[in-house]
Chain A
Amino acid sequence: AQKVTQAQTEISVVEKEDVTLDCVYETRDTTYYLFWYKQPPSGELVFLIRRNSFDEQNEISGRYSWNFQKSTSSFNFTITASQVVDSAVYFCALSEPGGKLIFGQGTELSVKP
């Protein structure tokens, strides 16, 4: 069965600190996709990144970076120099191609000024 675990329920940091959100997944599929979504208080899930199982290259987009390690089944997300606007719930998700998304429980990030 597919499963996503986000062990950190809540994280609180002060603005400009770096923060890493952990994600561990389980799947028997050899081809799968991993995602991160951001959910601000408004409720809409905002897509951040998609990674396929054959691409273990780390990715950086501005202050955001992602570390995919197949050996440890982890797909961690780091925000560098956090800002108050980064405050939200962040979800890691897993899917087979064209399939349903399996979400973790989410990590609520609070960035204080």
Chain B
Amino acid sequence: DAGVTQSPTHLIKTRGQQVTLRCSPKSGHDTVSWYQQALGQGPQFIFQYYEEEERQRGNFPDRFSGHQFPNYSSELNVNALLLGDSALYLCASSLLLADTDTQYFGPGTRLTVL
């Protein structure tokens, strides 16, 4: 049973560039959530996708956008990168309407903005 996968593992970009991160959910899951984790901090919720729509959004600017595909995989896009966007980006999947909608996390993508 494949768990949550994310690509790439690491990424280095310069200020002003754009980046796309990818996530494939755990088999059988239909919901994908994205989190940003700065060094030494707890993860912060970015947004959640269900049925190809953004269902919830955290306190992040419009530079952060996402997409969910019919196969439930998801992308996170960040435009006009800032130094402060350097972080570990975590994707989590879950089964929204299940009795146990626990979120399971992937290994993360470490983004460095220079």
Residues of B within 8 A of A37 (CB): 105
Query: A28 at the A/B interface (Cβ < 8 Å)?
Result: no
Segment 40-78 of B: residues with Cβ below 8 Å from A: 41-45, 48, 56, 58
| Complex partner residue of B110 from A4, A43, A50, A91, CB under 8 angstroms | A43
Q: Is the interface of A mostly helix, strand, loop or mixed?
A: loop
A37 to B88, CA, bound (A): 16
Contact size range, A:
20 to 34
Given the contacts A98-B97, A99-B56, A105-B41, A43 and B88 also touching, CB distance less than 8 Å: yes
Closest CB in chain B relative to A32 CB, distance in Å: 12
B58 touching A104 by the CB < 8 A rule? no
Number of interface residues of B (CB under 8 A): 27
A100 to B50, CA, bound (A): 13
Query: A35 at the A/B interface (Cβ < 8 Å)?
Result: yes
B101 touching A35 by the CB < 8 A rule? no
A50 touching B90 by the CB < 8 A rule? no
B108 touching A103 by the CB < 8 A rule? no
Sample of 18 more A-B contacts, CB < 8 Å, known A43-B107, A101-B33, A101-B45:
A43-B88, A44-B105, A45-B92, A47-B103, A91-B43, A98-B31, A98-B94, A98-B97, A98-B101, A99-B56, A100-B48, A100-B56, A100-B58, A101-B35, A103-B43, A104-B42, A106-B41, A106-B42
- The 14 listed contacts between A and B (C-beta, < 8 Å) are A43-B110, A44-B108, A45-B43, A45-B90, A50-B102, A91-B42, A97-B101, A98-B101, A100-B45, A100-B58, A101-B33, A104-B42, A105-B41, A105-B42
